[in-house]
Amino acid sequence: MNRKIILLVDDDCDDAEFFKWAMVGTEETFAVKFVDSGDAALQLLSELEPLPDLIVVDAGMPKMNGWELLKHIKTDLRLGNVPVVMMATSSRIQGIEEAHSLGAAAYIVKPSDFDELKMIMKQLCIGVQTDLKNTLDDMHASLPANIYTFS
């Protein structure tokens, strides 16, 4: 059975650990890859075959921030169709609109509660296995203040 690949790009070690814990128990179904910068993500993506089924990007990284990485991904012919979910600590409308205009599938405000993060990650996993757009829409309906989806 081919495992689905999720790439998490986040410079915060604590957040990466939370994501790892949230993904415990999915190892047979998912291969989760972590990198800590936009540059490292582009390097890994240039070498990765097959491409990830989903890329989750932290918006606020130093050097190349998440917005710049998203722009690189969406303008790359090889990567452009890979769905990208932006994650940020802020629910500023400007960030949400920028994620939408750059081609993100969704914008998620990072929860401070681990159980909520785990639920979000499990829902993203379900979406990767079934229908990501519908799953994101369902997530938005249940958490409208944290999850913004784009058609």
pTM of the complete model: 0.93
- Residue 76 phi/psi, 5° resolution? -90, 125
Span 16-55, pLDDT tens digits? 888 788 888 887 888 889 999 999 999 999 999 999 999 9
Q: What pLDDT sits at residue 1?
A: 56
- Between residues 88 and 13, which one has the greater pLDDT? 88
Question: Which 3 state secondary structure label does DSSP give 39?
Answer: helix
Instruction: Indicate the fold that domain 4-149 takes in CATH.
Output: Rossmann fold (3.40.50)
Q: Which two tokens stand for residue 95?
A: 């960030």
* Phi-psi label, residue 25: left if phi above 0, alpha if psi -120 to 50, beta otherwise: left
Span 92-139, pLDDT tens digits? 999 999 999 999 999 999 888 888 888 888 888 889 989 999 999 999
- Residue 5 phi/psi, 5° resolution? -110, 130
Span 65-78, average pLDDT: 95
* CA-CA-CA-CA torsion sign (81, 51, 44, 148): positive
